[in-house]
Chains A and B, each alone.
Chain A
Amino acid sequence: MAMKPEDILRAIAAARGDAICVPTMTTSPAWRTLAPDDLSIGCVGFMGGASALGLGLALAIPKRRVIVFDGDGSLLMQLGSLATIAGARPRNLTHLLFKNGVYHTSGAQDIPGGLSVDFVQMAKGAGYRKAYAVKDFEDFKSRLPSMLTDEGPLFVELHTGLADKTPMTDRGGQPFHQQIENLCQKLSKAG
């Protein structure tokens, strides 16, 4: 059975330590409640750009882990990012793909190719250091510690069902520029 995105996010929130998290689309509202005041930045207004933003953070702050929570439709929109990320070789970047087979946020239309698209092959082909799929929650929990420490760029395709909330049903949260401001301040305090 497909994993619940909220279960995955809850486990990450408990394990991620001081990692910076970059949610997008349907992981954004859940992440806001699970990790309300920390080093995160939600990307919604520029579909497909979360992994590139995560790459910039990872290159700028090599001592900290950066975890991107990508959407499958979003990744398809900027698929070349896989090669850009692999080429830049960020050792501290973990790219998690929440593969639900649909554009949930815009009304759950099937993505091109639906669930048969194999993003693991694509990430491997692009040159990620490691890429694999996780289909059940027990397996996810046992591999989570290494997802946070394995040398990157690391790509994990997570087979999930639909999140309870989407950025459309659950608006709110801080404006993007405010999130950026908060993150800048927290990072400069942390030194």
Chain B
Amino acid sequence: MPESIPAPLIIDTLRDTFREARGGSMREPLGWILSVPDTHQKTVLAALDKERALRVVTCATEDEANAIAAGLWIGGEPVVLMIQHAGLYASVNTLRGVAMDGRVPTFYMIGLLQRERDRDPKESRHSMVRFAEPLLDTFGVPHARLEGPDDVHLIPEYYRLSRQRRGPAAVLVGLETS
């Protein structure tokens, strides 16, 4: 497994994903990042501070992030939610009530803090890591693991998938960004 995923690579990928969502338009903000800070993705959040084209809204809870995402999407804006596994557990009712029942395309990047390199997340010693994929499976949310620089193509793919299926789709960030 690689050591880390460079933050600039993720930010470039997000920029491309948003540009594609806007049909090539360079309008600013290109897109929105809704975040309840995730330790695994903290270098991305730090770098986003300096990005004028991507607007970050820090939310007090992941419930809010889900509902804000719906409002932005209804208004035609591209959005990514950056949260951590604990935030997924904390906001399951809103994931269900907004993204699923509302058929709102909602794309999540979920940090798997404490994911061990030597074992599958489903066998993790940490309940926080262990339950993320089974929970997403229970709700029928498609997901994939982002575990190295070569996996960043999953970001636009799962973003598009959330649009196609009109509902949630998630990428699990299995190692720290650098």
- State the A residues within 8 Å of B (CB): 41, 43, 45-46, 48-50, 52-61, 78, 80-81, 83-84, 87-88, 175-177, 180-181, 183-184, 187-188
Contacts and interface: CB of A to CB of B under 8 A. Distances in A.
A111 to B, nearest CB: 18
A183 B61 CA distance: 26
Contact of B60 (A57, A60, A83, A188): A83
Question: By CB atoms of chain B within 10 A, which of A41, A49, A88, A184 has the most?
Answer: A49
A177 B103 contact: yes
A52 B75 contact: no
B124 interface: no
Interface string B136-174: 000000000000000000000000000000000000000
Interface of B: 32, 57-61, 63-77, 93-94, 96-98, 101-104
Nearest to B58: A87
Contact of A177 (B66, B73, B102): B102
B59 A48 contact: no
Interface pairs A-B: 8 shortest CB-CB: A56-B71, A60-B75, A80-B60, A46-B97, A52-B67, A49-B67, A45-B97, A57-B71
A187 B76 CA distance: 9
Contacts of B97: 45-46, 49, 176
The majority secondary structure among interface residues of chain B is helix
A55 B74 CA distance: 12
Contacts of A188: 76
Nearest to B69: A56
B68 to A, nearest CB: 4
A61 B75 contact: yes
Contacts of A181: 103
Contacts of A184: 74
Given A81-B60, A88-B57, A177 B101 contact: yes
B67 A56 contact: yes
Contact of B64 (A45, A49, A187): A49
A6 B113 CA distance: 49
A180 B70 contact: yes
B71 A55 contact: yes
- Max chain B CB contacts within 10 Å: which of A56, A78, A181? A56
B71 A59 contact: yes
Contact of B71 (A46, A58, A83, A176): A58
A180 B74 contact: yes
Contacts of B63: 46, 48-49, 52, 78
Nearest to B95: A46
B98 A46 contact: yes
A48 B42 CA distance: 28
Nearest to B29: A59
A177 B71 CA distance: 13
A56 B94 contact: no
B77 A49 contact: no
Contact of A180 (B64, B68, B104): B104
Contacts of B101: 45, 175-177
A86 to B, nearest CB: 11
Contact of A84 (B57, B72, B103): B57
B110 to A, nearest CB: 19
B26 to A, nearest CB: 18
B32 A57 contact: no
Most A C-beta atoms less than 10 A away, residue of B70, B71, B73, B94? B71
